[in-house]
Amino acid sequence: MLKQHLQFKLSQKLSPQQIQLMKLIQLPTQAFEQRLKQELEENPALEGGKEENATQEDEYGDIYESETDNDSINTEDINIDDYLSDDEIPDYRTKTSNYSVDDDEKSVPYAAGTSFNQYLLNQLNTVYLSDEEWTIAEFLVGSVDESGYIRRPLSDIMDDLAFTQNIYTDEKTIEKVLGIVQELDPPGVAARSLEECLIIQLKRKEPSPSIELAITVLEKSFEQFTKKHYKKLVQRHGISEEELKDAISEIEKLNPKPGGSYSGNNRIVEHVVPDFSIRIVDGELELTLNGRNAPELHVSREYSNMLKGYKDSKNKSKSQKDTVLFIKQKLDAAKWFIDAIRQRQQTLYITMNAIMQYQREYFLTGDERNLRPMILKDIADEIDMDVSTVSRVANSKYVDTPYGTKLIKDYFSESMKNEQGEDVSTKEIKKILETVIQNEEKKKPLTDDKLAKILKEKGYPIARRTVAKYREQLGISVARLRKKI
């Protein structure tokens, strides 16, 4: 049975210029500079620097308004659903730690140089191998991942050698060649597990009682070691706590990701450029916008003169009309871009100033316990802007403060009530939790239950599962894994 019904949908429409403005607001300083450079290259009617004898009046506006109205290009509004779907923020996201997900994903480029696999192959050239062994070794090196491990079973590698290299061999031969590859630098490379990686590194060290015990513990009691069951290790191996402590000390010096150190050095380091600076001057907060976000731009006088020349000419040919339409489009784009930059500067400053005033006590003291609970909607309501606009500023901009350079969104947090019924920031609770864990007795770390009781005693009644959640967000392990001998 067919049913008919009417469906009404309210949709907001933004012009292409509004969409571009939103994108400009989202860009951090370095990306903004690239966008500015691109616009200057693409639009000859836009020029950088301060214009000599510049006037505030628009000298050419009346020219193309009267002469080229019929040639103007009308652009239809664009449905926001097609372009800014990420900005449709549900109500619940304005009541928690709500951040827009529309940031462009950035990939870190690699610097020019020798790749990790090539680095290993270069070492293989110094080892004498038969043709078959070389092919197997080369294939094994190609199977090493960024961390320096070979994650695939030897049986799979054996099959691939047969299919792709026409090498028919057995696992024993592959394991023999793997042993040769594992002798390459960095120590621990081409291991098939963390256990094997650590043991390879220990066997490359100068033998000592601590080294020998460390190897034995890893080979025979790896699971107990990872779970920090120190009493079981002492009993099983018939050793003292001091001997075990020395062995563990040797293991802690090893590199669990031998490939990471090499590949890490082969990357370009991205330096953060603060978009704002906050300083304390005579006891008051002073906010400045990075000058690189406020470039001097002006419309090309040469292009405006060309338009003026068209107005003054008596004979207007078809080609002249086509040319003036092109000039008009470029001048329109230049004027709009200059206006968009000004709007961007204003939006950034107003938003950050509201955040600074909202978190005034924190910025004056640097004490994270003074951070007030703050969500995007708080600032949006304060400055009468959309939540998505505040999100764009908070998610992608950095501020330089007397206490370091931080991402603005880090100042946003949820709230909860303490025993006095006051709203406190979850960041404040996390800071206290972190301090309690730092000062705990390392031989008997505090469980989440005990941490919850301590926080309750301090006036923060939160459940054990909430303590576990905050602990994980701080990157702190469970009590068992924090245990020290």
pLDDT at 114: 56
Tell me which amino acid residue 19 is. Answer: I
DSSP state of 60: S
Per-residue tens of pLDDT for the chain, all 485 residues:
455 555 554 445 566 677 778 888 888 888 888 888 888 888 888 887 766 554 434 444 443 443 434 443 333 332 323 323 333 333 333 333 343 444 443 333 333 345 778 888 888 877 788 888 888 888 888 888 888 888 888 888 888 888 877 888 888 888 898 888 888 888 889 888 888 899 899 988 888 888 888 888 888 888 888 888 888 888 888 888 888 888 888 888 888 888 876 654 444 334 678 899 999 999 999 999 988 877 888 787 887 777 666 666 666 666 777 777 887 888 888 888 888 889 999 999 999 999 999 999 999 998 877 888 888 888 999 999 888 889 888 888 899 999 888 889 888 876 666 666 565 667 777 878 888 888 888 778 888 888 888 888 877 777 888 888 878 877 787 777 777 76
Q: Which helix (H) or strand (E) holds 470?
A: helix 464-473
Chain length of the chain: 485
Given a contact cutoff of 8 angstroms between Cβ atoms, the answer to whether 408 and 352 are in contact is yes
3-state secondary structure of 425: strand
In whole angstroms, give the CA distance from residue 250 to residue 198.
Answer: 10
For residue 94, count CB atoms less than 10 angstroms from its CB and return exposed for 0-12, middle for 13-18, buried for 19 or more.
Answer: middle
pLDDT at 268: 35
pLDDT at 61: 44
Tell me which amino acid residue 331 is. Answer: L
Residue 450 sits at φ, ψ, to 5 deg, of: -70, -35
Q: What is the DSSP string of 122-168?
A: HHHTTS---HHHHHHHHHHHHT--TTSB--S-HHHHHHHHHHHS---
pLDDT at 431: 79
pLDDT at 315: 63
Q: Which helix (H) or strand (E) holds 284?
A: strand 284-289
In whole angstroms, give the CA distance from residue 421 to residue 414.
Answer: 15
Strand-pairing partners, residue 288, are: 277
In whole angstroms, give the CA distance from residue 87 to residue 386.
Answer: 10
136: nearest Cα among 110, 182, 175: 175
In whole angstroms, give the CA distance from residue 401 to residue 399.
Answer: 6
Residue 454 sits at φ, ψ, to 5 deg, of: -65, -45
Strand-pairing partners, residue 406, are: 399
Question: Cα 251 vs. chain centroid, distance in angstroms?
Answer: 31
Given a contact cutoff of 8 angstroms between Cβ atoms, the answer to whether 225 and 234 are in contact is no
pLDDT at 316: 62
3-state secondary structure of 112: coil
pLDDT at 5: 54
In whole angstroms, give the CA distance from residue 292 to residue 302.
Answer: 26
Q: Is the pTM of this model over 0.75?
A: no
Given a contact cutoff of 8 angstroms between Cβ atoms, the answer to whether 358 and 372 are in contact is yes
